[in-house]
Chains A and B, each alone.
Chain A
């Protein structure tokens, strides 16, 4: 079993929809949680970063972490065609882990006009 599990989708939604992307993790040592966005034929880029449990909002994007249930979520409001990409959740244990990330499988999202 992977330490970070993510439904690969694909997920297709109409423009303007609210998108919910989710991951679960099994390693209790994970403290830092990220969402990366990856466009086709490109490298991942950091979208959101959260420490421990709680919410973080940035424009149309909201990241949530519930450490009690080991659940990570990303919400996209008013989705746009430009949001079409693969979304990867990632976690890190902090401390002496040297920034090493454990990624989920990635969810392919398509927002159609």
Chain B
């Protein structure tokens, strides 16, 4: 059972570089989410998607873009990385819900921007 798989697990970037974080889920979930986790801040929602081809902004979307071209994949892009984007990024997925379905999380991508 792979569940939610995030690639890569670690990455170091220089300021201004771009990169894409990949999230893949094999549970046929409609909803997918990207969060960032910073010390003392908990998890904050960056962007989310309620289905293939649809995305929406979360609490902290600035500096990030996302795409959901396939139901099982949700990509998070940083066009011009900044040190403030150093964080641990988590992807999650869930079944369609008004709320009572658990979100299943990947194990995170640790990103450092120098």
Contact = CB atoms under 8 A, between A and B. Distances in A.
A28 to B, nearest CB: 15
B105 interface: yes
A20 B31 CA distance: 32
Interface in A1-31: 2, 4, 6, 8, 31
The interface size bin for chain B is: 20 to 34
Contacts, number: 71
B49 to A, nearest CB: 9
Contacts of A60: none
A98 B31 contact: yes
A43 B90 contact: yes
A35 to B, nearest CB: 11
Interface stretch (B35-43, B61-69, B70-78): B35-43
A8 B40 contact: yes
A49 interface: yes
Interface of B: 4, 31, 33, 35, 40-45, 48, 50, 56, 58-59, 90, 92, 94, 97-103, 105-108
